[in-house]
Each structure stands twice: as C-alpha cells, then as structure tokens.
Structure 1
C-alpha cells in the first residue's frame, strides 16, 4: 500500500489564475476560456478589478484583493499562481512574497529570456493593449530590459476598445486585424526586431496570425504558462 499525504481542497490543477472582473467575450485561445488549456486550471475572479481599473488606472487599490484571491487559490490546491493581465507585473513582488508558491504575473517576464534566444543584433519587442499606460514601472517589475521596443493596438478599431471598456460583443476579425497591423507597425519601426512578446493575455487567439504576417517568433501568456505548468507538475515520460 502506498500512503499519500492530504492537505488540498482540489487536486489535479497545478496552475491558479487570478482573473479580472470582466464580461467581454472570451473566445477559444483566450486565457479566460478554460478550453484553451491542455491541462486543468483553477480560476478566481478578483471583484472590482476591472480592465479599466487595472490597465488604465494602474490597478489602484486592488493589491489586497489580489493577495487574498491568490492565497485562496493556493489554499485550495494551486501549486503556482498567474494572472490574466500583463499589467499585473506591478504586483509580482508583493504576490510572490504573500502567497508562498511560485508566481508568474505577466507574459512580459519572458522578454529577457527571449532576448537570450535570439541571434546577436536581434531583440524582442512587446505588443501591448495600451501603450499609453504601460509604464517603466510595469516593465521594470517584469525584468524587461530598458529600451525594449513597444507597439500597441491602442489605435485600432476594435480590440483595445472592447477589452478595456468591457463591452459585450467582439468582432473577432477586426480584433485580428488590429493585432496584425500593430505587430507589423512594430516590426517596421524596429529593423532589429527578432521576436514579439504579447503583453495582453487576450491576444493569444491572434498569435498565429501575427506570426504568419510578421515572420517572427511570437511568445504569449499561453507559451509562458505551458512552460510554467510543466515545472509545477512535470509529466512522466
């Protein structure tokens, strides 16, 4: 007989995801659509942490709620915590300190690693949902090297508006065009671009289109958390 030690409320889901309080459509590929993941995940919505409050207003006043929700996820059985907004890099240190398990707040944490993968003279750039509010503090907390190129979907017709205003309908074709056009503009403005890191977790459904249009590797929260989950719960081979 093999003895096992208990202690969790929920078993089999290593990754806990802190969710913004939002109702916009979460299409397949979106981090908030559970069918996106090839493994089970645990979700916890942080009430009143809206996209507008977190992205446009610096997540003001929300840290205690994020800490409480992260602790709940860890208590229920999550072996590691992530979030569904790249702007929550602001809370990386505080969440890691408070929760007692590994924390990966933002896709932006990949930028330094991606730079190490690229040939000499090439560097990663960031595609964000809101270039006007992505501050040096967000980048510094994620370990992004100073001077990293940043592009944004902010000037587009659909994607940024629908997500940040938390609208009930999303034209996925227009959203795709916004992402592809912003990525192409980022590449055109930076001849040394070697890869793109998607800040926004809602950009994942368009990653393949960006890759096809730009001809560059594209890294996202999906690529990041798949790697992260494998460390939390290694597969048997």
Structure 2
C-alpha cells in the first residue's frame, strides 16, 4: 500500500542544492507548522537565481519551475512557495499558471509592512544583485522604493560561500556571525528601522539571534499570511506585532 499524502500540504519548490537545511530553513520540513512537500527543480542552482534580473531571465528558470509546480498541484498542494527570494521575478507568471496561491518570496511582505512603516529593511544574500526590479516584482510601489533599506552579507563570508557556493557543510557560527554583522550594519545605517524582511530563505534559522542583537522584528516566508491562509484552522504561529 502506498503512503497517503496529507489532505492539505504546502508545496515547496527548491533550487538544486546540497547545503544543509537547518530548522527554520524553508527546505527543512520542521520549519512550518503545516505539512510540506518539497520538489527539487533539477539543474537550477543558487547562482542561477541570485543574479541580476536580466541574468536570471536568461537562465530560463520559469519553465522548470512551472513544471515542478504543476506536479505539486497534481499531488494536492494547497499553496506553493520557493526557496529563494530572488525568484520573485517569476511570481506573476507562476501565479498565472497555478490553480492555488503562489508566494514566491518573502519580499512580497514588503507592501504590507510599508503601509504601516515609513521604512522597512531587507537582509539579503546579495545586495549587489537585489535591484529595484525585484522590489517592484514584489509589489513595492515606485514611490516607496527609496523606503526599502537593503543590506547584504559579505560576499566572501561563510554564509555567502556556503549557500551561493552550494557547499555540503556549513560553519554555523561563522554563518551566524555574517548574518548578524549585516543586520547590525543596517541598524547603524537606518536606526529608525523596526522591521526587517529576510530575503534569503536560509536566514530564518538566525532570526531570533538577529532580533536579540538588534531589536528588529524579523519577517520571512514562515510568517507570510498569504502563504498560510489556505491552512487556516491549523496550529499556526501568531502574527508579529
């Protein structure tokens, strides 16, 4: 007898990676309070996604992600997400091709946060590549682009090397140090900030450390109301205030 699937599950489209996925990482099944099912998009690596808008489009990611998404839909996914915030460039086309809600990136939290805050921070794996086109794809109005303060981890640091380099092991302490240092740089540059969106889905394992060190509220796909709405009634975490 074949094992049965959960009645409703969250479908997670992940890049083709080998790095460890810690609790809190979107690729770790324990990260969400609802059942998940992961599909790896073979041949799509971290550097295919994390690059400028023109380069990502040239990488031709839409079709393999669309095919994997449809497979998850056939298996019963109630909502679908991805493992990289830069994939927000695919949001409009994926949602148009889907029958269920698609939330491709934590950057899609920005419009709602900007309705309540004068400025919102973004912590990213690559500030060099996270241009305005990605923010616009996430729904940030042109008039509010300047109100998004972006900070990235050091390009040559342990965090970037591990996840962009797709390394099989991680130095957790060194990676945490990189993420905390970036958050603290952002806080020094924009001391009025209260809310911080974690673009990279490998960053939530360090969310509590960031909050304790900076006083910032962190946001990720783990708190996305749009992503978790189909599971209303499940044991979901309370929204942050």
TM-score normalised by length of structure 2: 0.87
Equivalent position of 2:36 in the other structure: 41
Unaligned runs of 5+ in 2: 236-241
The alpha-carbon distance between structure 1 residues 207 and 231, as it changes in their structure 2 partners (threshold 3 A), is same
Deviation at 1:117, TM superposition (A): 3.3
Deviation at 1:228, TM superposition (A): 3.6
Deviation at 1:11, TM superposition (A): 3.5
**How many pairs does the alignment contain?**
224
Deviation at 1:233, TM superposition (A): 2.1
Unaligned runs of 5+ in 1: 1-8
Match of 1:234 among 229, 232, 235: 232
| C-alpha separation in 1, matches of 2:32 and 2:163 | 21
Q: Find out whether 1:131 has 2:127 as its counterpart.
A: yes
C-alpha RMSD of matched pairs (Å): 1.7
The alpha-carbon distance between structure 1 residues 220 and 173, as it changes in their structure 2 partners (threshold 3 A), is same
| C-alpha separation in 1, matches of 2:137 and 2:214 | 28
The one-character-per-residue Cα deviations of 1:174-215 (angstroms, maximum 9, x if unpaired) are 111111110010111113312111000000000000001111
Listed as ranges, the matches of 1:1-237 within 5 Å are 10-56=5-51, 57-58=55-56, 60-118=59-117, 122-144=118-140, 145-147=144-146, 148-155=148-155, 157-224=157-224, 227-235=225-233
Alpha carbons 2:123, 2:197 under 8 Å: kept: yes
| C-alpha separation in 1, matches of 2:159 and 2:228 | 31
| C-alpha separation in 2, matches of 1:229 and 1:216 | 22
Q: What SS does the aligned partner of 2:196 have? A: strand
Alpha carbons 1:18, 1:43 under 8 Å: kept: yes
Deviation at 1:229, TM superposition (A): 4.9
Deviation at 1:236, TM superposition (A): 6.9
The more displaced of 90-99 and 54-63 is 54-63
Alpha carbons 2:82, 2:104 under 8 Å: kept: yes
Detail structure 1 runs of 4+ shifted over 4 Å in the superposition: none
| C-alpha separation in 1, matches of 2:155 and 2:72 | 36
Q: What SS does the aligned partner of 1:35 have? A: helix
